[in-house]
Amino acid sequence: MNHNPSVSVLSIYPMTFSFAFVLFDGPSKLIDWGVCYTAASYANRNAKSLSRIYAIIDQYQPDAIVIEDYTEPGSRRSPRIRRLYRSLTYAAQTKSIDVFRIAKVEVKKCFGLVGAKTKYEVAQAVAQQFSEFAHRLPKKRRAWDSQQPAMGLFTSAALSIVFYFHQQLPI
């Protein structure tokens, strides 16, 4: 893939009962986003997620797909989510779409440049950059709370932002 910052990028962030997606057409042009719930039985969650992801890919035909690097040391993604990522990668490759994995460390480095150190601070930085997301920013999570599904939107957007940040760096 060339290092053109105007490529369309679909980032996908799976969660327990849903997945979030964000589609950019260039680093500052937000096209579509959403959280798709897949509250099917455990055995069918990946199939339902993949079906919806394929529909999004077919509708928008992105140049690249960005996902979290589930292979990095210390990744705590579940075996089901890892299988989903592998299936998604295979499907994208059959459609000649490049897949990029972004490590959490890279997200922290990139957003650390603007002073965002925690997941919530990263979400705040994304909401500040893209006003379309501002009203979806959940309250700061307390230690005993579950993560809100809307937080997946911010994580997905952050992955795309990091992708574009690295695409603009000189080689």
**What's the confidence (pLDDT) of residue 171?**
35
Packing angle, helices 119-129 and 104-112, rounded to 10: 60
pLDDT at 169: 47
Give domain status of residue 34, yes or no. Answer: yes
Instruction: Please write the tens of the pLDDT for every residue from 87-107.
Output: 999 999 999 999 999 999 999
pLDDT bracket for residue 40 (50, 70, 90): low
| Residue 134 lies inside a defined structural domain of this protein | yes
Express each pLDDT in 60-82 by its tens digit. 999 999 999 999 888 888 999 99
CATH number of the CATH domain containing 30: 3.30.420.10
- Nearest to residue 161, comparing CAs of 81, 82, 100, 71? 100
Q: Which domain holds residue 74?
A: 8-165
Contact 43, 167 (CB under 8 A): no
pTM score, whole prediction: 0.89
| Residue labelled with tokens 């719930």 | 37
Count of positions (residues) in the chain: 171
